[in-house]
């Protein structure tokens, strides 16, 4: 039964992907815009990585840095953990091991931490500050005081724990 459900989900995903690609083919301006935005993001990620390596006195050609950054971006498309924490870091370390810089005494850990701070943690801190300054916390507080929840169907005061069963036989 669960295998059938998994195949149904996979089939639905493939159908939605094909449908989206057909729709995108009918809108060439949108397709070009999406492609240009993707290229800009990929180039930015490659430049961040390359500049971090240069700042740590590393010697890695831009092409190698771009390969590492783009491969990590592909792996980050399906994170196994929130924000890809750990998964992306391990991918950086593994890919750095394949570069000519691997045995040169370069501090890979520092490079990974700097890149992740710049590309992930700084965005997280900045967006959190913006949300706080925009009064998002006040909105949540006001909703709780009114008895409403930001998520329909979820009681703000309820616990997510499963209540104990009243069945004495278990």
pLDDT digits (tens, 9 = 90+) for 32-76: 999 999 999 999 999 999 999 999 988 889 999 999 999 999 988
The verdict on residue 134 lying in a domain is yes
The verdict on residue 43 lying in a domain is yes
Q: What is the pLDDT of residue 38?
A: 92
Q: Give which of 46, 93, 88, 38 is closest to 67, Cα–Cα.
A: 46
Range of the domain at 113: 2-146
Q: How many domains does the chain have?
A: 1
Per residue in 104-122, is it b (16+ CB within 10 Å) or e — as a string? eebebeebbebbbeebbee
What average pLDDT is seen over the chain?
82
Q: What is the pLDDT of residue 163?
A: 47
The verdict on residue 153 lying in a domain is no
How many helices, marked H, and strands, marked E, lie in the chain?
A: 7, 0
Measured between alpha carbons, how far is 85 from 136 in angstroms, rounded to an integer? 25
The verdict on residue 168 lying in a domain is no
Q: How crowded is residue 54: how many other Cβ atoms within 10 Å of its Cβ?
A: 13
Highest mean pLDDT of the ranges 4-18, 62-76, 116-130, 154-168? 62-76
pTM across the whole model = 0.67
The verdict on residue 12 lying in a domain is yes
Q: Summarize the confidence of residues 131-157 as an average pLDDT.
A: 69
Distant-in-sequence, close-in-space partners of 102: CB < 8 Å, separation ≥ 6 = 96
The verdict on residue 100 lying in a domain is yes
Q: What is the pLDDT of residue 78?
A: 85
The verdict on residue 141 lying in a domain is yes
Place of tokens 């850990």: 109
Asked if pLDDT for residue 160 goes beyond 50, the answer is no
The verdict on residue 151 lying in a domain is no
Using the Cα atoms of residue 25, residue 30, residue 34 and residue 37 in order, give the sign of their dihedral: positive
């Amino acid at each position: 039964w669960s295998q059938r459900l998994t195949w149904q989900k996979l089939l639905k995903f493939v159908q939605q992907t094909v449908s989206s690609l057909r729709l995108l083919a009918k809108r060439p301006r949108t397709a070009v815009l999406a492609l240009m935005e993707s290229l800009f993001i990929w180039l930015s990620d490659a430049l961040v990585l390359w500049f971090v390596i240069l700042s740590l006195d590393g010697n890695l050609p831009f092409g190698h840095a771009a390969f590492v950054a783009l491969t990590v971006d592909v792996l980050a498309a399906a994170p196994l953990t929130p924000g890809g924490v750990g998964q992306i870091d391990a991918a950086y370390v593994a890919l750095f091991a394949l570069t000519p810089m691997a045995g040169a005494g370069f501090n890979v850990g520092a490079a990974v931490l700097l890149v992740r701070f710049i590309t992930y943690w700084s965005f997280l801190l900045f967006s959190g500050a913006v949300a706080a300054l925009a009064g998002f916390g006040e909105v949540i507080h006001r909703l709780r005081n009114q008895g409403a929840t930001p998520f329909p169907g979820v009681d703000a005061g309820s616990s997510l724990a499963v209540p104990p069963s009243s069945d004495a036989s278990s």
